[in-house]
Amino acid sequence: MVLTDDEYHHAVKVRRLKEGDKVEVNDLQGNIYLGEILKIEKNKALIKPIQKQDIKIPDYKITLYQCMPNQLSKIDDIIEPISQLGVDRFVPVLSKNSAVKQSDVEKKIQKWEKIALNSIKQCRRLYPVSIDKPVKLSNINSYDDLKVVFYEKEYERKTKDLIGKTFQNCSIVIGNEGGFKEDEINLLVDKGFLPLSLGNYILKMETAIIVGICQIKIILER
What's the confidence (pLDDT) of residue 45? 87
Q: For the chain, what is the domain count?
A: 2
**Cβ-proximal residues to 135 (8 Å cutoff; 6+ apart), any chain:** 65, 91, 92, 93, 94
What's the pTM value of the predicted model, to 2 decimals?
0.88
Residue 92 near residue 135, CB atoms below 8 Å = yes
User: How many whole angstroms separate alpha carbon 98 and alpha carbon 74?
Assistant: 13
CB atoms within 10 A of CB 4: 11
Residue 212 class from Cβ within 10 Å (0-12 exposed, 13-18 middle, 19+ buried)? buried
CATH number at residue 47: 2.40.240.20
Residue 115 near residue 80, CB atoms below 8 Å = yes
Give the DSSP letter string of 143-193. Answer: --SEEEEE-TT--S-BGGGGTT---SEEEEEE--TT---HHHHHHHHHTTP
User: How many whole angstroms separate alpha carbon 87 and alpha carbon 63?
Assistant: 6
Mark whether 92 and 155 lie in a shared domain: yes
Give the domain range for residue 40.
2-52
The pLDDT averaged over each successive group of 10 residues in the chain (222 residues) is 78 81 83 86 87 86 97 95 95 95 96 92 86 97 96 93 94 94 96 94 92 95 80
Mark whether 43 and 147 lie in a shared domain: no
Mark whether 91 and 163 lie in a shared domain: yes
Question: C-alpha angle with apex 165: 161 to 169, nearest 5 degrees?
Answer: 105
Give the DSSP letter of residue 7.
H
Mark whether 20 and 127 lie in a shared domain: no
Mark whether 38 and 69 lie in a shared domain: no
Amino acid at 204: K
Mark whether 44 and 93 lie in a shared domain: no
Mark whether 39 and 149 lie in a shared domain: no
User: How many whole angstroms separate alpha carbon 218 and alpha carbon 222?
Assistant: 8
Mark whether 39 and 82 lie in a shared domain: no
User: How many whole angstroms separate alpha carbon 213 and alpha carbon 205?
Assistant: 12
Mark whether 142 and 36 lie in a shared domain: no
Mark whether 119 and 36 lie in a shared domain: no
Mark whether 13 and 65 lie in a shared domain: no
**Rg of the chain over all Cα atoms, to the nearest angstrom:** 20
**Cβ-proximal residues to 39 (8 Å cutoff; 6+ apart), any chain:** 19, 45, 46
What's the confidence (pLDDT) of residue 65? 98
Give buried/exposed letters for 100-126 (b at 16+ CB in 10 A, else e). Answer: beeeebeebeeebbebbbbbbeeeebe
**Cβ-proximal residues to 186 (8 Å cutoff; 6+ apart), any chain:** none
